Amino acid sequence: MEFRTRPAALDDAPAIHAIIAANEQLWHGLVQAVPDAVAADLQRPLINLDLDTRVVEAAGQVVAWAWVHGGRRAQLDVHPSDVGRGLGTDLLDWAEARAREHGSDWLAQTVDDADLAGTKILRDRGYEVLATNWLLERPVDGDEPMLPDGVTLRPFETADAHTVHQVIQDAFDEWQPRRHEYDEWAGTSIERDSFDAELSPVAVADDQIVGAAISLELPGSPNGYVEQLAVRRDFRGHGVARALLTYAALEAGRRGKKTLTLWTHSGTGALAMYERLGMRVRRSTTVYRTQL
């Protein structure tokens, strides 16, 4: 079979999502990836499509892709019907070379723990484990959220955007290596087609937003999905996060969803909290890193 490699275009987003979805279907029997995630990623401010992305085509079909974000983080996916043809190794060579061009001395990549072939390629190359991501789930029934005195919940409104950005990024700054400025944050959250304001509560105290959950709608999926959750530091430890999650879960249940899901990263230290809130791990991915 003849393979052709070229930079990705925005129009490739649905085909790239289809590769990611085919792998999730194979490994987990269920697709979790949100359809508009790839388009949002390809439009991130740090991405130059010509330099930072590649797709591999066979007979006019996109069968694999890769990108390098900020010179430090790569993702690559090969369609299940084309694994074992060396496409992943070629794309990894490209990603490492691209990261070096950026002047980066390391490169990280997240791999589904069910992706045995991808995991083997990275381990054989000497990549080391940097972190774990867990996909957590909780039921969508239960009691109405309990709130501390003076705190109320209501759905996100457009006028909240800049304050919610600040609350979330201030909280994420505690563990995230790089702050996402407003445009990047909005482009990957509230400006996405899948963003669902009704399922995205904000917590308000004295007319100030002190916490927020950002939810995305996965059409046709049995899962409700929270993309981000944060509580302002001076309001922590009073059940605000618990209330935000419960609100999102009950609302998702009213929409006919079966579970509420979210991803968390070992760097946040939040796994223990989510387990206290009755969430359980459904599956995981591993972040691998290599020195270049």
**DSSP 3-state of 39:** helix
Rounded-to-integer distance, Cα 262 and Cα 138, Å: 9
Q: Contact at 8 Å (CB) between 232 and 171?
A: yes
Is residue 272 near ligand COA by the rule CB under 6 A? yes
Q: What minimum distance in Å lies between the beta carbon of 191 and ligand COA?
A: 20
E-only strand ranges, 140-222: 151-155, 201-205, 208-216
Site string for ligand COA, 51-90 (x = CB under 6 A): ----------------------------------------
Binding of ligand COA at residue 276 (CB under 6 A)?
A: yes
Contact with ligand COA (CB under 6 A): which of 14, 45, 142, 237?
237
Strands 106-112 and 73-78: parallel
Interaction pattern, residues 201-230, with ligand COA; x per rule: CB under 6 A: ----------------------------xx
Q: Do you know the residue count of the chain?
A: 292
Using alpha carbons, select from 256, 258, 193, 268 the residue that is nearest to residue 228: 268
The torsion defined by the Cα of 110, 12, 165 and 268, in degrees rounded to 10, comes to: -10
**Least CB distance to ligand COA at residue 270 (A):** 4
Among the listed ranges 2-10, 188-196, 217-225, 234-242, the one in contact with ligand COA (CB under 6 A) is 234-242
Asked if 231 interacts with ligand COA (CB under 6 A), we say: yes
Coil, strand or helix at 147: coil
Chosen residue from 268, 285, 286, 290 binding ligand COA by CB under 6 A = 268
Least separation in angstroms between CB 156 and ligand COA:
16
Shortest separation between residue 116's beta carbon and ligand COA, angstroms: 27
CA atoms within 13 A on the CB side of 284: 12
Q: Where are the beta strands (DSSP E) in 114-192?
A: 128-139, 151-155
Nearer to ligand COA, 157 or 170 (CB): 170
Sites of contact with ligand COA (CB under 6 A): 171-172, 174, 229-231, 236-242, 264, 268-270, 272-273, 276-277
